[in-house]
Amino acid sequence: MTVPVTIRLQKEDFDVAREVAALSRGRTDIGAVVSFSGICRSDKADGEGDAIAALVLEHYPGMAEEEIARHAEEAVSRWPITGLTVIHRFGRIAPGDNIVLVVTASAHREAAFHAAEFLMDYLKTRAPFWKREEGSSGSSWVDAHDRDDTAAARWAKS
């Protein structure tokens, strides 16, 4: 059976409950659904200075979709998941608003947990998106974290 994979890049917000329901609606083979939502915080990534007014996400159109699709395909090949949704927003995002959503479905929980974590770790380090923080004293690009590379590296196949 072909695993249904939905990948969307969009400016607009998304509804987590609606996306979860859409993945499992009408199916009786799914025993586990895991969802991860990444949400915009108001504190700066480096912990210094005033709260941010917004994050602005730039992306590489075309490559972003293709890169996410490559990792979705890998997740499907590595774990027995039976459905997958990835939504990543771009543009201006205010604190408290959604940035990213990963939903994975499987017969049992283990595959859904692992695939969701794998996808998020790779979205952080390989999907071509860049965050800029807008604040009262101007704007600055967010630095990449070594801890995200470390998190992604544990999924590398030996």
Residues lying near another protein in the complex (CB under 8 A) are found at 38, 57-60, 62-63, 66-67, 88, 99-100, 120, 123-132, 141-144, 148
CB of 31 to another protein, least distance (A): 27
CB of 131 to another protein, least distance (A): 5
CA distance 156 to 141: 28
Q: What are phi and psi of 81, to 5 degrees?
A: -90, 155
Based on CB atoms, which residue is closest to another protein, 27 or 126? 126
CB of 121 to another protein, least distance (A): 8
CB of 63 to another protein, least distance (A): 4
Based on CB atoms, which residue is closest to another protein, 49 or 80? 49
Handedness of CA 17, 11, 117, 111 (dihedral sign): positive
Based on CB atoms, which residue is closest to another protein, 33 or 120? 120
Based on CB atoms, which residue is closest to another protein, 32 or 148? 148
Based on CB atoms, which residue is closest to another protein, 59 or 78? 59
CB of 138 to another protein, least distance (A): 13
The secondary element (H helix, E strand) that includes residue 88 is strand 81-89
β-strands 5-10, 81-89: how paired? parallel
From residue 85, give the alpha-carbon distance in Å to each of 2, 20, 29, 42, 102: 14, 8, 17, 26, 6
CA distance 34 to 25: 15
